[in-house]
Amino acid sequence: MRTADLEPIPAGDHRLHGARAPLDLAAAGWDEEEWTASGTAASPSGAEAAYAVRVLVRRPAAASASGTLCAEWLNVSSGAEAAPEWTYLAEELVRAGHAWAGVSAQVVGVSGGAGSVAVDGGAPPAAPGLVGADPERYGHLVHPGDAWCHDIYVQVSRAVRDLVSASLVLAVGESQSACMLARHLVSVHGLESPFGGYLVHSRAGSIPRRVPEATQHTMADVLAQRPGRLPDDLVPTLVVQTETDVIGRMRSLPARQLDGPMLRTWEVAGTAHADKFQIDAFEDLLGCPTPVNRGQQVYVLRAGLRALEEWARDGAPPPAAQPLVVEGGKGAESYAVDDLGNVLGGVRTPAVDAAVERLSGFAPEGASLICQLFGSTTPLPVESLRSRWGTAEQYLAAYARATEAMIAAGFACPEDRQAILSEARPGALTGNQDPS
- Is the pLDDT confidence value at 119 over 70? no
Assigned domain for 390 exists? no
Task: Let me know if residue 334 belongs to a domain.
Answer: yes
- Position 286 scores a pLDDT of 94
Sheet with strand 99-103: strands edge to edge: 5-9, 30-42, 48-60, 99-103, 68-73, 168-174, 197-201, 237-241, 263-267
pLDDT digits 0-9 by tens, 247-297: 998 999 999 999 999 999 999 999 999 999 999 999 999 999 999 999 999
Q: Domain of 11: which CATH number?
A: 3.40.50.1820
Q: What string of DSSP letters covers 308-332? A: HHHHHHH-PPPPP-PPB-EESSTT-
pLDDT of 432 higher than 80: no
> Does residue 167 have a pLDDT over 60?
yes
pLDDT band at 78 (very low <50, low <70, confident <90, very high): confident
- Within a domain: residue 167? yes
Q: Is residue 380 part of a domain?
A: no
CA 162 to chain CA centroid, nearest Å: 25
pLDDT at 435: 52
pLDDT in tens, 224-242: 999 999 999 999 999 999 9
DSSP annotation of 363 reads P
Q: Check residue 422 and report its DSSP letter.
A: T
Q: Which of 29, 1, 7 is nearest to 163 (CA)?
A: 7
pLDDT of residue 241: 98
Domains of the chain: total: 1
Mode of pairing for the β-strands spanning 334-335 and 357-360: unpaired
What is the per-residue pLDDT for 359?
Answer: 98
Better-predicted residue by pLDDT, 331 or 353: 353
Please indicate, yes or no, if residue 305 is contained in any of the structural domains: yes
The parent domain of residue 172 ranges over 5-349
pLDDT at 124: 67
> What pLDDT was estimated at residue 434?
57
**Residue 10: what are its φ and ψ, rounded to 5°?**
-55, 150
Angstrom distance (rounded) from CA 339 to CA 152: 49
Answer with the residue of higher pLDDT: 54 or 121: 54
**The one-letter amino acid at 111:** S
Q: How far apart (Å, rounded) are the C-alpha atoms in residues 55 and 74?
A: 10
| Segment 159-182 mean pLDDT | 98
On whether residue 187 sits in a domain, the answer given is: yes
Three-state DSSP class for 275? coil
Task: Output DSSP code: residue 282.
Answer: G
Residue 424: inside a domain, yes or no? no
In a domain, 415, yes or no: no
Q: Find the mean pLDDT for residues 139-145.
A: 98
Q: What does the mean pLDDT of the chain come to? A: 95
Cβ count within 10 A of residue 216: 23
∠ CA 15-17-20, rounded to 5°: 170
Instruction: Render pLDDT for 355-368 as a digit per residue (tens, 0 to 9).
Output: 999 999 999 999 99
